Structure 1
Amino acid sequence: MDGGAPGIDSTLVDGLDAVELSWRYKAVPAAAHGQTAAGYVASGVGLAQLQTPLLTLSAQAMASNVAQMADWCEAKGVLLAPHGKTTMAPQMWREQLVHGAWGITLANASQLRVGHAFGVRRVMLANSLTDPQAVSWLAERQGPDFKVVSWVDSVQTVALQAATLADKPLADKRDSVLDVIVELGSGGGRTGARTVAQAVEIARAVSASAHHRLVGVGGYEGSLAHSAEPGALATVRGYLAGVKELHEQLLAEDLYAQGAETIITAGGSAYFDDVVDVLAGCASDRVDGGRRVDVILRSGAYMVHDDGFYRGISPFARGSHAGKTERPFVSAMHVWARVVSVPEPGLAILDAGKRDMPVDEGMPEPQLLGRELGGPMEVLEGASISAVNDQHAYLRCTPETTVGMGDVVRLGLSHPCTAFDKWTLIPVLADTGNDNALVDLIHTFF
């Protein structure tokens, strides 16, 4: 391991500073072409020298959110493997690892290759590998510097992986053994065994396989609810109780691999407090030869947060737990869009659309209006986005609001997962709204 960040190769991440900016990056103007990413940042430019449409991040907000989540997890006695698919940005993964993350969670084989390319040392693959090429690729590359724990949710998946590995000539028999956890789901949910009994059968199949080690249990509660209403929270907590029951049954049957550190994992960015309430008590240190059990959250959106779905449902905002003292996370992402048409009173058309900003968890929120990018801005009252096309947004304003051609609107966004995938390069401002100096350029790999 290099002397930089734990869990990732900092030399490879730092290499992104040498990337030459060009027409391939819509986030930077033509004046930046030919410069390296680091050189452009060092030139002293700010928001005023950029162009619309534009997604930006706030360095101050991200630093605050990362530190807060790290401190909270440490206080609760749980680990964190943030879901890297939210950003697919190794520079941001490194910040999470520097702040104590256990590893990085990823969702599929292509994301796994990105993690491997940047030297991520420990990965939770929150999915089942059923493509033979993906199974073989992982088996050939896993080792001390690339440890991967993946999921299985059926006996058939276990058999498929075992058959693939049995047919693959590998240099070392240890290469043909995959560390897996059994995923528990729920009726109407996404993946995962539908009952604890089914999950136990899968665990028995894993335990009996020469090509697998059973190292934990887990799943995803976020697909079962979409609000903080009492009924939704009861559904989430009932599901988590099932994960705990599954873990206890596997302990009772001694199905976990001998000598392996055991994982219980759940927790997106909406209900991680409930995960801790229900599951944190299962964690234990290895004492007198006993088994070490770690509870690992996989929250991914907290570093960026938003002005929509997560603002409303994040545990730090909704105050669902007694004795709440945490401050809410701060949204670190905004889109800046320019008025390109004022075709009728009360309607302005902006130059940002579905190709530039997410709409799957709610429309963007008009926040500020100014005459130029990087200039003074005023609160935009009574405005909304009523619709978006591929490259345009419909800004509805009150009759009292004066919106002119070329004016700039700052928009709050909902759902970082579908914001980052639209940008291969994202400018980072020192502190959006207070200091618009450009301090970094984030590269994404979707």
Structure 2
Amino acid sequence: MPGSGTAAPRRSLVALFGATFFELCGIFVFAPLMLFQLKARGLDSTAAGAFAALNWAGVLVATPFASTVVRALGTRRALLLSGVVPVVALAGIQASSQLGLWALLYAASGMAAALRWVLSESLVARLAPAAHRGRMMGLFSTMIGATFMVGPALLAALLARGWSAHQAGWMALLLTVLGLVMMFGIQAPELAAAAAGDAPDGAATPAPRPGLAQALQGTLAALRGMPVVMATGFVGGFFEAGLSGALPLWGLSLGWSQAAAALLVTVSGLGSTLAAAPAGELADRWSVEAMRRSCVAACLLGALLVPWVSLPGGAWLAWPLVVAWGAAGAALYTLSMVEIGHRHTGQGQGVALVDSTAVLVLAYTAGGMLAPAVTGLMIDWAPRFGLAAALAAVALVGFMRPGAPLAGARASP
């Protein structure tokens, strides 16, 4: 039947998009709820914030070992594990009042989030047609960005209707369960399979199961093999995810109200959400390298314009700058993932695809975690020029030149 060869990957992509959307919506409903409940139990903001950071700590700890889990369990079971753990974690937190158990479960949920993040990005890159890989990666990034808004908006609606925090928690759990159910519709290719020629009968076979040391070696090999892509991911994480934690501080340093300063985060998120899909679409048609440099140049130009915001009549400039930073950061991450997909979606490249995606996630996360601390320090040190200096220095990292030309926008089928 014509087109039947592409029907299964298309259905799997739809299921993967749906599973990720519902699970992340559940997570983003639950995360603020947990903070509300911690505050209600008497924890101060520092303790509650440290508690919330356990999720990110889980992501950082688990990401380098994603390929180890995939090799040990296989792609499909590893993917299902990444969906089961958040369901169990949220259910345990809902059913218990022990903060120690909450901490353990929330950290475990972060570790599962790392596996889901790496696997979902890898599978979109593998399942998408080569000629439209940028489009699929861009749409996937846009969908993920939408969950950042849909989850909190749903929570606000539930609380406005009189739901208690505990009742809204069950809705969050229901959404993660729905995401898990949709995972069963994903026909995941075996990313841990060796090349077909390695098997006596020519069939693909699972690759040997390495220990943790070998997994770290694979992560380091991915870092050495694609330093430009990883530097780009770092810059993207700094400007997209990280600045969201620093923009309110910048607004306050300009003398703005808390409401106006907080609105900068929303505007940055809008830029991120709107940019990913067009960036992916253009990556199917233009040079990935040229687009990468254009996005980095936009980050650098915006950094150099920061001092003008504090001049009389210059406050309006903050809004387009914030939109541009969010858009450029999202585009840089999408372009990095497209490049990884072009390089590592051939036969026997599954483990390399997972390892490279894991290193990109680490680079992006590192940029996101570093940005609030560095920019906050620089704003205190030099209110007018500190932020500009910090952003410009990070943008310059993105101008790292590749040792060899990056792949073009299209890959051979």
Q: TM over 0.5: same fold?
A: no
Larger of the two Rg values belongs to structure: 1
Q: TM-score range by the shorter chain?
A: under 0.3
Give the structure with the higher percent strand: 1
Name the TM-score, length of structure 1 as normaliser: 0.21
